[in-house]
Amino acid sequence: MSSVDWPARTAELDADETHHLRKVLRLGRGDVVRVFDGAGREWEGAVAAAGRKATVSLERVVAAPAEPPVVVTLAVGLLKGDQMDTVVREATALGAAAITPLVTARVVAPGRARVEAARDRWRRVAIASAKQCGRAVVPVVTEPATLEAVLSEAYGVRVMLAEPETGAATGAEAPAKPDARAPDVGGARPRALLLVGPEGGWTVDELAFAVSRGCRTWRLGPRTLKAELAPTVALSALWARWGWE
């Protein structure tokens, strides 16, 4: 990421970003680039130095593309290998504000060291995806959490994807956009929670618990989608219903 000092009109790139600038983009001193801070702010400037850590002389503020109208937290059953990388990459491009790996009944919780290493990798994936799609916000990738912990937070709407074989009473239409004026939402934009199960799916008890906490169960048609594909389809369907801007 970039360390930006706008009053001083400078930005310093970290080692990864410097490598990307020099070795991937093949840019150097004098070339015009854009930098962002991951929190929605973006600037344009010229490369001032391209040593071990490149620096950029900032010239102007750039109007970053607007974020979606709903602040969506994607909570997804922890997946193996590069499947979680795919989820983080696509969810970043599709406007998720936060991504929470879920430890559920059919997910084995990894050790602390593995979790920390994985979070570092997922954050790098999120940053790369934000750069690729032109998004100035990098979603927060949280530590793994339980279903109970995730459902203790306040949201204007809670949605749980339920596979066809669960037999849960589901709607085929995406839920209505949450109301920003709801008392448990707060902030300028309404908040929503999207729950996607692991490869083994939800248990009956997990479904019942989620419904008891105000979740609406939702299905994405008659097919059983791969775990890493379901979040992409669900987020796309939500924005088609709620609007992107």
Q: What is the average per-residue pLDDT within 221-232?
A: 88
Confidence of residue 230 (pLDDT cuts 50, 70, 90): very high
Confidence of residue 182 (pLDDT cuts 50, 70, 90): low
Task: Give 151-164 pLDDT, tens digit per residue.
Answer: 999 999 999 998 76
Domain ranges, ordered by start, for the chain:
2-62, 71-242
Q: What is the mean pLDDT of the chain?
A: 88
Q: What is the average per-residue pLDDT within 209-224?
A: 88
Least trusted range by pLDDT, from 81-90, 105-114, 230-239:
105-114
Per-residue confidence (pLDDT) for residue 207, from 0 to 100:
92
Cα distance between residue 4 and residue 125, in whole Å: 21
Task: Give 17-64 pLDDT, tens digit per residue.
Answer: 898 899 888 999 999 999 998 889 999 999 999 888 899 999 999 998
Per-residue confidence (pLDDT) for residue 183, from 0 to 100:
45
Exposed/middle/buried for residue 197 (C-beta within 10 Å: 0-12, 13-18, 19+): buried
Cα distance between residue 50 and residue 27, in whole Å: 9
Per-residue confidence (pLDDT) for residue 224, from 0 to 100:
80
Q: What is the average per-residue pLDDT within 112-127?
A: 87
Q: Look at residue 184 and tell me whether its pLDDT is greater than 50.
A: no
Count CB-CB contacts under 10 A for residue 37: 18
Q: Which of 11, 22, 23 is nearest to 48 (CA)?
A: 11
Q: Look at residue 170 and tell me whether its pLDDT is greater than 90.
A: no
Q: Look at residue 92 and tell me whether its pLDDT is greater than 80.
A: yes
| First-residue to last-residue Cα distance in the chain | 26
Q: What is the average per-residue pLDDT within 64-88?
A: 92
Tell which wins on pLDDT, 142 or 171.
142
Q: Residue 38 carries which DSSP code?
A: B
Superfamily of segment(s) 2-62: Hypothetical PUA domain-like; domain 1 (2.40.240.20)
Complete DSSP assignment for 161-201: E--GGG----BSSPPPPPPTT-TTT-SSS-EEEEEE--TT-
Q: Look at residue 187 and tell me whether its pLDDT is greater than 90.
A: no
The domain 71-242: what is its CATH number? 3.40.1280.10
